[in-house]
Amino acid sequence: MKVGIVTFPGSNCDYDAWHAVQLAGASPAYVWHKETSLDGIDVVILPGGFSYGDYLRAGAIARFSPIMTAVVDHARRGGPVIGICNGFQIACEAGLLPGALLRNANLQFVSDMVRLKVENADTMFTHAYAAGQMLRLPVAHGEGRFTASAETLDRLDQEGRVVFRYVDAAGAVTEAANPNGSMRGIAGIVSAEGNVLGLMPHPERAVEAVLGSTDGLGVFQSMLARVSA
């Protein structure tokens, strides 16, 4: 199983993603943003960071990188794609996922450990978890406020495409537990076809106990188990 980790100018979580993929039992490979082919790649990860310095709007320039044509084609053919933080922003800008990630509600960069609830444990990326399971993952972003029309939000909820929400210790979606003001506490969603995941928290930074949590490893284990089945 070969996982391609796309590196843009300004990416800074590509090494973390490499390590997480190795721990999950797959073979990682870096894919430079100027490349035009994903030959031999089974899974694509769009990692976190500040692609192109987040100029204009986070992910807006990276969306036009040469490699993104191949990434979009890969996704359209049903190939798995994980967009983490800046990668989530890029996936939305590229039309792989609905909605947009806007400036945090408090207009400040947030770096913290947050609680998430697994809303849907029946996806390619979450079946290693139990429905309703509580996770602890780190966030680090300035533009993580998921925003979409009421119609889109309703569709995401009705179709079970919201996979993670920010919650408090009791598992409730509250304003205090929401680090960025995301609508309906949304922290992660999947595409209509189920093969593209976007999430703002960093599962690749929560794969070993020394990091404070191992809760992120299930994302990679779920995906790799489903792809290799």
Block residue for tokens 């602890």: 136
Beta bridge partners of 193: none
Annotated active-site residue in 33, 74, 141, 202: 202
What proportion of the chain, given as a percentage, has pLDDT over 90?
Answer: 95
Spatial CA neighbour of 11 closest among 86, 93, 82: 86
Classify strands 196-199 and 81-84 as parallel, antiparallel or unpaired.
parallel
What pLDDT sits at residue 214? 98
* Domains in the chain with CATH codes: 2-228 (3.40.50.880)
User: Are 160 and 190 contacting, i.e. CB atoms less than 8 angstroms apart?
Assistant: no
What pLDDT sits at residue 57? 82
Under the banding of pLDDT at 50, 70 and 90, the label for residue 215 is very high
Under the banding of pLDDT at 50, 70 and 90, the label for residue 229 is confident
Active site residue 204: yes
Kindly report the pTM of this predicted structure: 0.96
| Residue pLDDT, tens place only, 175-213 | 999 999 999 999 999 999 999 999 999 999 999 999 999
Active site residue 74: no
DSSP state of 206: S
Classify strands 186-190 and 196-199 as parallel, antiparallel or unpaired.
antiparallel
What pLDDT sits at residue 148? 98
Annotated active-site residue in 33, 74, 85, 93: 85
Active site residue 119: no
What pLDDT sits at residue 56? 79
Question: Alpha-carbon distance 182 to 139, whole Å?
Answer: 13
* Mean pLDDT value across residues 126-143: 97
What pLDDT sits at residue 219? 98
Annotated active-site residue in 93, 119, 143, 204: 204
What pLDDT sits at residue 208? 97
What pLDDT sits at residue 155? 98
Under the banding of pLDDT at 50, 70 and 90, the label for residue 54 is confident
